[in-house]
Amino acid sequence: MRFPRPRWIHVALIAPLSLAIACGGGEQAEDAEMAAEPAEEMPAEPAVTVRITQPEEGATVGPDVLVVMETEGIEIVSITPPVVGTGHHHLYVDVDLTPLSDLIPQNDPQIIHMGDGSTERMLEGLAPGEHRLIAVVANPAHIPLDPPVVDTLHFTVANEE
């Protein structure tokens, strides 16, 4: 003998189904809608950049020159203790870059290591004439970042009269 089901059972079974249909058919429908829409690109991590802000490109300066650098997308810190994901500055004064996959040489007086986390350096007693600075950001092991984070600047030291 079959007993009639109470009316509330029909409501309890039909209500969730109606709600799923009204809301787009549940997770499968949402997945299908998302597949039909163009994929939203993940925001890119900020690019790491360095810029020599002082002196200005092409400036004429005295024999003592304050060099100031700014970075974006990375924290500049002291190499002691080494911190993953950070960097520090190097200044190449009137010399070409060394291979960017190699350790930056430590015994060249024209390559200034700024492992103390500083962002500026006073260059004293530069000879009169044209000069080139190349700023390079390296990891705590003195290896340039990949992709390279480099800026170049040209300036002239005036003859003293």
Question: pLDDT value at position 19?
Answer: 38
Q: In what order do the strands lie in the sheet with 49-54?
A: 49-54, 65-72, 120-123
Place of tokens 């089901």: 5
Report the residue count for the chain: 161
> Which residues face 61 on adjacent strands?
157
C-alpha distances (whole Å) from 112 to each of 4, 16, 29, 83, 135 are 90, 70, 60, 20, 10
Question: pLDDT value at position 40?
Answer: 53
Residues of the chain with pLDDT under 70: 1-46, 161
> Which residues face 68 on adjacent strands?
54, 120
Question: pLDDT value at position 17?
Answer: 41
Please indicate, yes or no, whether the overall pTM of this predicted structure exceeds 0.75. no
Asked if residue 55 has a cis previous peptide bond (ω within 30° of 0), the answer is yes
What are 92's two structure tokens? 């190449």
SS3 content of the chain, % helix, strand, coil (to 5): 15, 35, 50
Question: pLDDT value at position 135?
Answer: 98
